[in-house]
Amino acid sequence: MKPYKVLSLLIGLLLLAACEKMPTGEGLSGRWRPVYACFSNEDEVYRYSCDGPVDKHGNARMIRMGKDNPEVKYEESITIPGIRFFKKYGTDVYIYFMMDSPNKGIGKPLLYKYEGGMLYLELPMGAFINSSLEYLEEGSGKFSEGSPVQFLANGRLQFGDTTYERF
């Protein structure tokens, strides 16, 4: 029985090593910078909308307009982070980063799943509880509802309301 355990362990290590050496140019792997954002949202007082290009710093123009009083209108800048997909210990993970510091992530790497053209991102513990910052950045094991992903003809990726390009 012992040789089977050793053999299965070796096979597992070989598979893990093979997965780690997959080219990063395929699929979602790599760093993606936002190039276009299109979304709308609202709260009790304002409607927020953005439909335009994102600059090299990750900034886009957003309009905030009063729901009851449309004459109240503000133009603001919103920062949209880049996203990096990679493997860590053979597991698919992602992390957001600010464009002005692309090698420094926001929080800790979290899991992702890509199934049937949909991308499911693991939510951090901070989405569910109020605790110390270090614990809040940990993965919760719960995933988002999923967003459709489209690989565009120009090598770009559309994920949710944002279009990204690999850099």
What pLDDT shows up at residue 122?
Answer: 94
72-97: per-residue pLDDT in tens?
Answer: 999 999 999 999 999 999 999 999 99
Mean pLDDT score of the chain: 83
Identify each DSSP E strand in the chain by its residue range: 30-42, 46-53, 59-66, 73-79, 82-88, 91-97, 105-115, 118-124, 139-143, 147-151, 156-159, 162-166
Residue from 42, 36, 60, 55 nearest 161 by CA: 36
Residue 102: predicted pLDDT = 78
Three-state DSSP at 13 gives helix
Secondary structure in 3-state letters for 52-72:
EECCCCCEEEEEEEECCCCCC
Nearest CA among 158, 144, 167, 146 for reference residue 97: 167
Query: What's residue 40's pLDDT?
Result: 94
pLDDT confidence bin for 44, thresholds 50/70/90: very high
